[in-house]
Chains A and B, each alone.
Chain A
Amino acid sequence: MSRSLRGDCCGRPNGNLRRKVPGCFGAIAADNPGSRGRKTVPGGRGGLGREAWEEMITAGIDVGHKYTKVVVWDGERVLARHCRLTGFEQKEAAEAALAAALGDAGVPRERVAAVVATGAGKSEVWFADSRITEVGADARGALCLVPGARTVVDVGAEEGRAIRLDAGGRVVDFAMNEKCAAGTGSFTESMARALGVGVDEMGPLSLKSTRLVPMNAQCAVFAESEVVSLIHARTAREDIARAVNDAMAGRIAAQTRRVGVEKEVVLAGGVARNAGFVKALEEDLELKVVIPEAPEYVTALGAACVARERAGGKGNG
């Protein structure tokens, strides 16, 4: 169903694509770091070698609240991905992320036809040729990976979005929460901290739950106290983790229903990596969601696709 975005993810900031997919285009970069000039890229479609640099290359930068993600795109394949903590210097994070991604791809900066920025810090990307809203980028990225996408749900660190697309892939409606931590990744993070487990353990832990315990608090601050009370009451960590994921899923499902749910539903954003949340969301929405392999890069990929369109390139998968 979904065309995969291969490689490493945001869970590991500064993940290195070269080490992950040595058989791919990354190998070129590994052999000739910083090389210039024409190179034949092995692999690609049908295993045919092709003149990669004749293709138009664009980059999408998604400066999120927590992570900055970059996708380098040739209209057909992701040449490199990079993710790093945004921190407080969004400008520097964007610069460093693009440089790292281009380094991984072995593509010099001047070969990049256009850069489009998106995300909460998009205005800080001074070197971008243009900008696009997160909603627009999300829609574009999801369509690129899942051509039949009609609903896009993106749950990031400090934001949650639900987007409805029509048959032509145009955005019909969207709902967004950026005001409240409930229904964003920071909610799960706070609860993981209260539980004393890593945020990546929340998914596997909750899948082992055997008992339903209710979470009454909506607010992340209050929910943290509630988790502490549950711990005092000797509730199993697995059951608390599930309650947290269920609560999150409930919020996101409600937000998604507000725009209308239609298949295919694509789940993007880092929270899609939490299997417990995904299960709860699927149960709540009563359907299977499609999760791209690198869900946190969907928005950046969308920006790269838009960059290509704006620069007059054809294709986009």
Chain B
Amino acid sequence: MAEAAEKEFWRWKEYNWHNPDLDWRSAEIVAAGVDVGSVSSQAVIMADGELYAFASMRTGPDSPASAENAFNWAIAGTGLTLPDVHCTVGTGYGRVNVPFAHKTVTEIACHARGANFIYGPAVKTVLDMGGQDCKAIRCDEKGRVTSFLMNDKCAAGTGRGMEVFADLLGVSIEDAGEMSLRVDSEPEPVSSTCVVFAKTEAIGLLRAGWSRERVLAAYSSAMAHRVVALLERIGVEPEFAVTGGIAKNAGVVRRIEKELGVKAARTSYDTQIAGALGAALFARALAQKGK
């Protein structure tokens, strides 16, 4: 019982992966991208043009250590070491804290570049829903940024807001999306903008007998509404794609699609690594130039 009370529902799973069918030793260029976000850090290794390995974990209070941890975890079990990497690019909120990076690139450019790789050149509008910010990006067929809008001031419409709700409702953050879709009818969105006030409002709704599913649905549509406002200001040109952690939350993504009237592109890639992947692509281009 005490254990359940102490469970941290927002704590999403950290993970790493590498492609066992690829051998980095036979690759001409090994490039790395490290994205140190405000909430999560990712490292991606590319062997020539292909995704080879990645890791995603929570950013600790020490950014340089977080960058190193993510990188070390990505190369774990691959035999790869830092000197084997031809070029590394750092990105994200803590990009200046990637001590082993050759260069830093803004996360806006990296997300557009990463989305271009993940979803293909047809993508013209990218919505990156990160831990503590949300960016609407317009880009061309090469993944170059043409314009963007960003909210990094307010937790409404960011992953952090969803974490707060997961914790409040005692729902694991990975289940929040699916759960919010299990409602008979769509409730009115939570009316408060501020996450702090929305939390109070949600407690009131729970008291009034709402199910957790319904409260999640109300919050997810409020969140969708916030980011749609951002998207509409910049203009949405298909294809439209979502990156970042919230891209994995079907409840929010379906509601964004519904409000926009545009379907988001689908992928089997991990959307949370888009930034680091973009950074690795920049690193690869840099290494090619150097050769």
A residues within 8 Å of B by Cβ?
65, 88, 158, 179-181, 186-187, 190, 218-222, 225, 228-229, 232-233
Contact = CB atoms under 8 A, between A and B. Distances in A.
B194 A181 contact: yes
B160 A233 contact: no
B194 A88 contact: no
A219 B207 CA distance: 26
A106 B204 CA distance: 34
Contacts of A186: 196-197
Contacts of A229: 61
A88 B210 CA distance: 14
B61 A218 contact: no
Which 5 residue pairs spanning A and B have beta carbons closest together? A221-B155, A181-B196, A232-B61, A181-B194, A220-B196
| Interface hub of B155, B194, B195, B200 (most chain A Cβ within 10 A) | B194
Nearest to B196: A181
Interface of B: 38, 61, 132, 153-155, 160-161, 164, 192-197, 200, 203-204, 207-208
Contact of A222 (B61, B155, B193, B207): B155
B154 A180 contact: yes
Contacts of A220: 155, 194-196
Contacts of A179: 192-194, 197
A233 B61 contact: yes
Given A229-B61, A232-B61, A233-B61, A221 B204 contact: no
Contacts of A219: 153-155, 194-195
| Interface hub of B132, B154, B164, B200 (most chain A Cβ within 10 A) | B154
B197 A221 contact: no
18 contacts: A88-B203, A88-B204, A179-B192, A179-B194, A180-B194, A181-B197, A186-B196, A186-B197, A187-B196, A190-B196, A219-B154, A219-B155, A219-B195, A220-B194, A220-B195, A221-B164, A221-B196, A225-B38
A293 B153 CA distance: 35
Contacts of A88: 203-204, 207-208
A158 B203 CA distance: 15
A180 B38 CA distance: 21
A225 B93 CA distance: 15
Nearest to B61: A232
Nearest to B193: A179
Contacts of B200: 65, 158
Given A181-B196, A229-B61, A221 B161 contact: yes
A221 B61 contact: no
A222 B196 CA distance: 11
Contacts of A65: 200
Contacts of B161: 221
A181 B199 CA distance: 11
A186 B195 CA distance: 11
B160 to A, nearest CB: 6
Contact of B193 (A180, A187, A190, A218): A180
Nearest to B62: A232
B195 A221 contact: yes
Contacts of B208: 88
A225 B160 CA distance: 10
Contacts of A221: 155, 160-161, 164, 195-196
Contacts of B61: 228-229, 232-233
Nearest to B205: A88
B132 A222 contact: yes
A88 B202 CA distance: 11
B160 A222 contact: yes
A108 to B, nearest CB: 34
A218 B153 CA distance: 6
Contacts of A187: 196
A152 B87 CA distance: 59
Contacts of B196: 181, 186-187, 190, 220-221
B204 to A, nearest CB: 5
B21 to A, nearest CB: 40
Nearest to A233: B61
